[in-house]
Amino acid sequence: MTSMSMTNTPKTAMVDDARLISRTLARAFDDDPMMRWFFPDGASREVGLGRYFSTIFTRQYVHHAVCERTEAAAAFWVPPEAQAKAVPDAETIQELKNILGDRAPLLRDAVETAAEHAPQEPHWYLALIGADPAGQGQGQGAALLRSGLAKADAAGLPAYLESSKPSNLPFYEHFGFTVQEELRLPGNGPTLWAMRRGPHCPAEV
């Protein structure tokens, strides 16, 4: 029991954790509809996803977000004061284009669509959360979600996310999120569910 508790305890993710985090997220998002849209070739998807997540983590989120991990899960939260900075710079955009190739415009369209529907109120944004399927069922994703929500609650702010995997909606609803809007991505892309959770008092968490 002690080992499991330690495994599930969120830790701050550092640049040196990039290899672990990119591998974890590549496995976590292998069956995600949006990531399959970006990386349709199953034979190369895990490598492509690993490069994608490593790039956005090391060049973007580790510098401007609250990044936490467990042994088999990771989450990137962006507080309101960092949201203007937590966007890819020109070099990062070029690197993502190199990774995605002719699928790069799909990422651009997805980012722009999501941004158009993002809430205007100050909020904590859950940019990414995922658990390696080999570690699912151990509460690691839930531990990371609780950790971020506790920070949002402490600030008295709502939390917001987009999910492209319908089977994940009940998980988020369990933690108080509700669907605000269904967004269909351009070019016959997958649906994004925009979800919001209002701030809770500590006793409600």
> DSSP assignment, residue 73?
E
Q: So what's the pLDDT on residue 201?
A: 75
Distance of alpha carbon 198 from alpha carbon 85, whole angstroms? 24
Tens-digit pLDDT string for the chain (205 aa): 344 444 689 999 999 999 999 999 999 999 999 999 999 999 999 999 999 999 999 999 999 999 999 999 999 999 999 998 988 999 999 999 999 999 999 999 999 999 999 999 999 999 999 999 987 778 999 999 999 999 999 999 999 999 999 999 999 999 999 999 999 998 889 999 999 999 987 655 4
Domain CATH code at residue 37:
3.40.630.30
Model pLDDT, residue 138: 86
Alpha carbon 95 to its chain centroid, in Å, reads 19
* Predicted local distance difference test score (pLDDT) of residue 8: 84
Helices (H) and strands (E) in the chain, counts: 9, 7
Say which DSSP state 71 is in: S
CA distance linking residue 174 with residue 84, whole number of Å: 30
Q: Which pLDDT belongs to residue 4?
A: 42
Q: What is the pLDDT of residue 3?
A: 41
Strands (E), 45-190: 66-69, 73-78, 124-131, 159-163, 178-184
In this prediction, residue 101 carries a pLDDT of 96
- What pLDDT score was predicted for residue 187? 85
How many structural domains are present in the chain?
A: 1
Angle at 77 between CA 57 and CA 40, to 5 degrees: 50
Residue-range definition of the domain harbouring residue 85 = 2-204
CA distance 147 to 151: 7
